[in-house]
A = this chain, B = another copy of it.
Amino acid sequence: MPQARVHVIPTSAPDDVSGLETLIAQGVLDPSRLVAILGKTEGNGCVNDFTRAFSVMALERFLGPHAQGVALVMSGGTEGGLSPHLITFESLDDTGESDAPALAMASHVTRDLDAHEIGTQAQIECVADGVRTAISKAQIRGPDDVAFVQIKCPLLTAERIACALYPTATTDTLKSMGLSRGAAALGVSLALGELDETTANIVQIGVDLNVFSARASTSAGVELMGHEILVLGMSAAWSGPLIIDHAVMSDAIDTAPVASAMSRLGVGTTATLVALLAKAEAAPSGAIRGRRHTMLDDSDISSTRHARGFVGGALAGLTGRTDLFVSGGAEHQGPAGGGPVAVIATKRH
């Protein structure tokens, strides 16, 4: 039975690979077994955030041939006290242990989209197929055992719009990021059975925000035209001490469901928190529990930066940790103003 291994590694800069290096030297990280590396980098997380690409370049340079096939998903923005870090996901060979079920994972890369497919039903279908494939690869029995699907999806650039064969969903490049994140999330939703085919065919992407996935986390990047999908879940075919559960925050300060998920995993008693992944966004309504927020009216700080720092604070207050993977832009990922959360823990011996 395969076994997952996860490390959360602090970084001192976007190009800092010294933590990886140390773990490899210590023999506790095997670069040839890497499935994915997620990273929080300290840029603004918006259009001109080059810390993501810088981090990827540094990782590729460091990993060399081992980088091949590894999903490298960087999320910009460590606002407030959030701490830049990498999360490595390794799939180890059968270790003789049989502590099943346990955390299972697999990554999958979809076909490239044509520019006019971004942010449309075609993207929903493409992602749904990809997620189904990854679930199968991960030997996860079915959608119900999936805890989290992290996706890197494409966006439109001025050049891609100009070269498109058919009209694109938008001509606004920033808006295309939201549409692509939203369509990718709906693709997850379809694959997980949260959404039926009929609704998938008629849902208005970016508009019908009450249609969402409780387990999707998507981010758009300029460097690909397809999708890099990482599926995380529980499987009886995997062994080891790692376990995962998920929650949905209904708004930016709704920490109770996360506390429940941690409790279900035994965090604080039989288990220890390893990593937490969450999506954050400014409530489009302009209010949280009936009280006005100013995130959407602030022309000095992007609302995504506000949201990450604030939700990051709520989750750090809950967990006592600041190296949390809180990512912005939660279109169709959890309810409007809220977002999905995954909690990974390790059982104590």
Contacts and interface: CB of A to CB of B under 8 A. Distances in A.
Interface of A: 10, 12-15, 42-44, 46-51, 53-54, 57-58, 61, 78-85, 158, 252-253, 255, 282-283, 286, 288-289, 291-295, 297-302, 305-307, 309-318, 320-323
Contacts of A301: 79, 301, 305
Nearest to A255: B317
Contact of A294 (B48, B54, B307, B321): B48
Contacts of A305: 301
A51 B82 CA distance: 21
A299 B47 contact: yes
Contacts of A54: 14-15, 50, 53-54, 57
Given A158-B286, A299-B302, A309-B80, A291 B50 contact: no
The copy count of this chain in the complex is: 4
A57 B310 CA distance: 30
Nearest to A83: B291
A82 B288 CA distance: 9
Contacts of A252: 80-81, 313, 316
A5 to B, nearest CB: 21
Most buried by B among A42, A49, A80, A307: A80
Given A83-B293, A291-B323, A53 B317 contact: no
